C-alpha cells in the first residue's frame, strides 16, 4: 500500500512530464495550457488508489489514469464553449483566451490523446477498460446534454436532476475506480462494489458542490458564492425549494429565476433567504449523507482487509468535509 | 474475393442497422441525421477491400469500418461548426439545422461511438488498430488546424499545403486501408505498401477535388463550381497560380482574394481566366498523376496475386475519372 501523497506525487510527475511539442502550435499550446491549470486531479488519483487497494501494479495504471485526467480536461474545454465560460480555476478558459474554434479542435485532439494514454497498458485487459471508458464518455456527453436541456426546460424534476448529475459527474468518478480495479485484476464482485462506491460518492460530491456554491465561506471557497443563483442554474437546492415552497415563495423563486436585469447581489440574498426559510441546506446535506452512506457501505462490502480501505475512507471523509 | 458492390452493400446494411434510440433525443437525433445523409462511404469500403484483398475475414473488419465512417462524419460535424457551413451534401448541416452546441456535443458523442465500433473486433490486433486510429485522429485534427491557419496566413507555401492535405485527408484514407490489412494479418511489408498506396491516393484525391471545384461540369458536379474561389480558399490551384503569375496576374489574384464585396460570379470568372492563362488545370492534373502513379506503384509492390488487386485498380481509376 502507498500513501495518497505518494500517489498524488506520481500523478503530478507524470503530468509535469507531458510535453506537447508537436505542430501546429495553435493546436498544442492550448492543450498544454489546459493541462497545466491544476485542479484537484481527483480522477487519476482514484484510478491509482483503486489499483493500489487491490494490490495491483500502480505503474500499469499510471498511463490510463493520465488518460482519464486528459479526458476530464477535454470535457471542461468543450463545456466552457457551450456555457461560454470565461473563467475556470481562477484563470481564463481556452475558449476565452483563444477562441471557440481553437477550444473545439484542441478539445478533440485531447480526446484522441486521452485514448492514446488509456491504451498504454497491458493488452490483457485493454478491451475491458476501453469498454468502460467508451460507455463513460458517451454517458458524460448525455449528462452535458441534459444539463443544457435543463437551462430552457420549464419543468425539471429532482429525478431528472439526479440522473443528470449521475451522468455528468458520477459515472466518470466510478469509471476511474473501475479501471484501476480492472488493472489490478480483482474479482467481479469487488469491481462492481468499487464502481458503485464511485457512483454514490460522485453524486454526494455533486450535491455538496451545489450546497457549497450557496452556503460556503467565500474566503475558503475561493470564488464568489451564489453563482448558481445568479446564473439561474436549476440545482438540487433550487428544485427542492420549488417542491417545498409556499405560494408566495414559489412566486418569488419563479420571478428571481426568470426575470432578467435584477440586481445580482439582491437576487442572491433573497433566494438564499428563501432557501434558509425552507431549511434547504439541511435537506440537501441529508440527501448527500444518504449517498455518502451508500458509498461507504459499498466500500465495506469489498473483499480486502480493512486497512487497505483506509485511504478511501479518509478520502471520502475529506471530500465531505471540504470547504471548496 | 468479393465484388465492390457486395462490399458496398454490406456497409450500407450495417449503416442502415445503426439505431440511436438512447436518450436524450437532442443528442442522438443529430447523430442519426448526420449518418443518414449518405456520402460516398469510401472509407469503410477501403477497410473491407483491404481486408478482402489479403484474404481476411471481412466480417471482422465490418465494425471497425463502421467506426471509421462514424469518425469521418464526426470530423465533418465539427468542421462545419468551425467553417460555419450551412450546407453539406445538398442538405442543411447539423450546425445549421440545430446549433453549434448541439453539433459540438453530438460530434463528441460520435467520436466515442466510433471508438465503440472500432474495438468490436478480435482482441488480438486491438492494440495495433487502436494505435493506428489514435495517431490518425490526432493528425486529422492537426490538418484541420493548418487549414484554419491558412485562412489568415499571408504566405502559404505549396509544401505547407501538401502537408495540410496529407494530414486532413490522406492519413485517414491510409488508416482505413491499414486497419483492414491489420485485421487480415498480412505481412508488415504489405501493410506498409497498402498504407503508402492510401497516402498517395488520398493526396491525388484531394488535388482532384481542387480541380473539380473550379473546372467541373456543374450538372455532373452537383453543386456550384468556383466555391473555393468565392470563399478565398488557398487551394493547390491558387498557390500554384501565385507561383507562376506575372506581376499583373499576381496583383489581380491578390486583389480578388483579399478585397471583400466583389461580385462573386465576376470574381470566379476572372480568377478562372487567370488559371486558364497559366495552364493551372494541367499543372494540377500532372501533380495529381504523379501521386496517382506513386499510389499504383505501391499497390504493385504488394505481395498478393495480381487478380486480387483488380478491385483497387478499378477503384483508383474511377476516383481519378470522377466528375463529382
**H or E segment to which residue A162 belongs:** helix A158-165
Domain final residue pick, A82, A113, A141: A141
Do the Cβ atoms of B174 and B124 come closer than 8 Å? no
- The stretch B8-24 carries a mean pLDDT of 95
> What phi, psi does A189 have (nearest 5°)?
-65, -45
Do the Cβ atoms of B36 and A155 come closer than 8 Å? no
| Alpha-carbon dihedral B254, B255, B256, B257, rounded to 10 degrees | 50
* Cell representation of residue B38: 449518405
Same domain, B1 and B124: yes
Q: For residues A184 and B52, what is the distance between their CA atoms, to the nearest angstrom?
A: 39
Same domain, A11 and A128: yes
- For A109, the closest of B81, B141, B149 (CB atoms) is B141
Q: Cβ of B112 and A78 within 8 Å?
A: no
User: Which neighbouring-strand residues pair with B92?
Assistant: B87
Strand pairing report for B91-92 and B87-88: antiparallel
Cis peptide before B286 (omega within 30 of 0): no
Task: State the count of interchain CB pairs (< 8 A) between A and B.
Answer: 112
Q: Cβ of B116 and A134 within 8 Å?
A: yes
Q: Give the CATH number for residue B239.
A: 1.10.600.10
Low pLDDT (below 70) residues in chain A:
none
Could you tell me if B108 lies within 8 Å of chain A, comparing CB atoms? yes
Which residues lie below 8 Å from residue A156, measured CB to CB, with a gap of 6+?
A150, A234, A239
Interface test with A, best of B27, B73, B131, B172 (most A CBs within 10 A): B27
Query: Does residue B66 carry a pLDDT above 90?
Result: yes
Same domain, A2 and A128: yes
Do the Cβ atoms of B301 and B220 come closer than 8 Å? no
Residue A106 lies in a domain: yes
* Cell representation of residue A320: 465531505
Which residues lie below 8 Å from residue A154, measured CB to CB, with a gap of 6+?
none
Same domain, B99 and B229: no
Interface of B with A in 65-94 (CB under 8 A): 78, 81-82
Max Cα-Cα span within chain B: 62
Same domain, B103 and B202: no
Do the Cβ atoms of A181 and A51 come closer than 8 Å? yes
Same domain, A136 and A38: yes
Do the Cβ atoms of B66 and B108 come closer than 8 Å? no
Same domain, A5 and A133: yes
Q: Cβ of A111 and B116 within 8 Å?
A: no
Question: Is the four-CA dihedral B73, B78, B83, B84 of positive or negative sign?
Answer: positive
Residue A242 lies in a domain: yes
Question: A96-127 burial by CB neighbour count: b if 16+ within 10 A, else e?
Answer: bebebbbbbbbbbbbbbbbbbbbbbbeeebbe
- For A127, the closest of B105, B126, B135 (CB atoms) is B126
Max Cα-Cα span within chain A: 62
User: Which neighbouring-strand residues pair with B88?
Assistant: B91
Q: Cβ of B26 and A81 within 8 Å?
A: no
What are B149-184's pLDDT values in tens digits? 999 999 999 999 999 999 999 999 999 999 999 999
Instruction: Give the count of alpha carbons within 13 A of B290, CB side only.
Output: 6
* Burial (0-12, 13-18, 19+ Cβ within 10 Å), A14: middle
Same domain, A191 and A122: no
What residues in A contact B73, CB-CB < 8 Å? Answer: none
Which residues lie below 8 Å from residue B317, measured CB to CB, with a gap of 6+?
none
Q: For residues B71 and B132, what is the distance between their CA atoms, to the nearest angstrom?
A: 13
* Burial (0-12, 13-18, 19+ Cβ within 10 Å), B40: exposed
Could you tell me if B262 lies within 8 Å of chain A, comparing CB atoms? no
Strand pairing report for A87-88 and A91-92: antiparallel
Question: Is the four-CA dihedral A258, A260, A264, A269 of positive or negative sign?
Answer: negative
Instruction: Give the count of alpha carbons within 13 A of A201, CB side only.
Output: 30
Q: Cβ of A148 and B101 within 8 Å?
A: yes
Total domains in chain A come to: 2
Q: Cβ of B119 and A130 within 8 Å?
A: yes
What residues in B contact A132, CB-CB < 8 Å? Answer: none
Domain final residue pick, B115, B133, B151: B133
Same domain, B95 and B194: no
Same domain, B119 and B193: no
Residue B254 lies in a domain: yes
For residue B22, the chain A residue with the least C-alpha distance is: A142
Q: For residues A33 and A107, what is the distance between their CA atoms, to the nearest angstrom?
A: 12
The residue ranking higher by pLDDT, B302 or B123, is B302
Interface test with B, best of A108, A111, A116, A153 (most B CBs within 10 A): A108
What is the interface pTM, i.e. ipTM, of the complex?
0.95
Domain final residue pick, B104, B133, B162: B133
What residues in B contact A101, CB-CB < 8 Å? Answer: 81-82, 148
Residue B92 lies in a domain: yes
Residue B27 lies in a domain: yes
Do the Cβ atoms of B133 and B118 come closer than 8 Å? yes
Residue B268 lies in a domain: yes
Q: Cβ of A149 and B26 within 8 Å?
A: yes
What percentage of chain B exceeds 70 in pLDDT?
100
Q: For residues A123 and A29, what is the distance between their CA atoms, to the nearest angstrom?
A: 31
Q: For residues A303 and B119, what is the distance between their CA atoms, to the nearest angstrom?
A: 31
Closest CA relative to residue B102, chosen from B117, B115, B92: B92
> What phi, psi does A220 have (nearest 5°)?
-85, -30
What residues in B contact A115, CB-CB < 8 Å? Answer: 115, 130, 134, 137
Same domain, B124 and B26: yes
Same domain, B210 and B324: yes
Q: For residues B117 and B111, what is the distance between their CA atoms, to the nearest angstrom?
A: 10
> What phi, psi does A86 have (nearest 5°)?
-85, -25
Q: For residues B164 and B143, what is the distance between their CA atoms, to the nearest angstrom?
A: 5
Query: Does residue B263 carry a pLDDT above 80?
Result: yes
Closest CA relative to residue B311, chosen from B12, B22, B15, B45: B45
Residue A219 lies in a domain: yes
3-class DSSP string for chain B: CCCHHHHHHHHHHHHHHCCCCCCCHHHHHHHHHHHCCCCCCHHHHHHHHHHHHCCCCHHHHHHHHHHHHHHHHHHHHHHHHHCCCCEECCEECHHHHCCHHHHHHHHHHHHHHHHHHHCCCCHHHHHHHHHHHHHHHHHHHHHHHHHHHHHHCCCCCHHHHHHHHHHHHHHHHHHHHHHHHHHCCCCHHHHHHHHHHHHHHHHHHHHHHHHHHHHCCHHHHCCCCCHHHHCCCCCHHHHHHHHHCCHHHHHHHHHHHHCCCCCHHHHHHHHHHHHHHHCHHHHHHHHHHHHHHHHHHHHHCCCCCHHHHHHHHHHHHHHHHCCC
Interface test with B, best of A25, A102, A141 (most B CBs within 10 A): A141
Residue A232 lies in a domain: yes
How many angstroms separate the CA of residue A116 from the nearest CA in chain B? 6
pLDDT at B322: 85
pLDDT at B319: 87
Range(s) of the domain holding residue A52: 1-141
**H or E segment to which residue A199 belongs:** helix A188-215
- The stretch B11-19 carries a mean pLDDT of 95
Closest CA relative to residue B278, chosen from B256, B255, B248: B248
Q: For residues B107 and B129, what is the distance between their CA atoms, to the nearest angstrom?
A: 22
Amino acid at each position: 500500500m502507498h500513501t495518497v501523497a505518494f500517489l498524488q506525487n506520481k500523478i503530478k510527475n507524470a503530468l509535469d512530464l507531458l510535453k506537447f511539442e508537436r505542430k501546429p502550435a495553435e493546436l498544442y499550446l492550448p492543450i498544454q495550457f489546459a493541462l497545466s491549470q491544476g485542479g484537484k486531479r481527483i480522477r487519476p488519483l482514484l484510478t491509482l488508489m483503486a489499483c493500489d487497494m487491490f494490490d495491483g501494479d500502480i505503474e500499469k495504471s499510471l498511463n490510463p489514469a493520465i488518460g482519464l485526467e486528459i479526458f476530464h480536461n477535454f470535457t471542461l474545454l468543450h463545456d466552457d464553449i457551450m456555457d461560454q465560460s470565461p473563467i475556470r480555476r481562477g484563470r481564463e478558459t481556452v475558449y476565452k483566451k483563444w477562441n471557440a474554434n481553437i477550444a473545439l479542435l484542441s478539445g478533440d485532439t485531447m480526446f484522441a490523446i486521452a485514448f492514446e494514454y488509456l491504451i498504454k497498458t497491458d493488452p490483457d485487459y485493454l478491451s475491458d477498460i476501453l469498454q468502460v471508458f467508451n460507455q463513460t464518455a458517451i454517458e458524460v456527453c448525455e449528462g452535458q446534454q441534459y444539463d443544457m436541456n435543463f437551462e430552457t426546460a420549464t419543468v425539471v424534476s429532482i429525478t431528472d436532476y439526479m440522473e443528470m448529475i449521475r451522468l455528468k459527474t458520477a459515472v466518470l468518478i466510478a469509471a476511474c475506480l473501475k479501471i484501476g480495479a480492472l488493472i489490478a485484476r480483482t474479482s467481479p464482485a469487488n469491481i462492481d462494489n468499487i464502481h458503485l462506491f464511485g457512483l454514490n460518492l460522485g453524486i454526494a460530491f455533486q450535491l455538496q458542490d451545489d450546497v457549497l456554491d450557496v452556503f460556503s465561506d467565500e474566503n475558503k471557497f475561493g470564488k464568489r458564492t451564489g453563482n448558481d443563483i445568479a446564473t439561474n442554474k436549476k440545482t438540487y437546492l433550487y428544485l427542492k425549494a420549488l417542491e417545498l415552497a409556499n405560494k408566495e415563495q414559489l412566486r418569488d423563486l419563479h420571478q428571481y429565476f426568470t426575470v432578467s436585469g435584477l440586481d445580482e447581489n439582491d437576487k442572491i440574498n433573497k433566494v438564499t433567504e428563501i432557501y434558509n426559510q425552507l431549511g434547504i441546506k439541511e435537506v440537501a446535506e441529508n440527501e448527500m449523507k444518504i449517498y455518502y452512506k451508500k458509498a461507504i457501505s459499498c466500500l465495506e462490502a469489498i473483499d480486502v482487509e480493512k486497512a487497505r480501505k483506509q485511504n478511501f475512507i479518509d478520502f471520502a471523509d475529506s471530500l465531505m468535509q471540504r470547504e471548496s
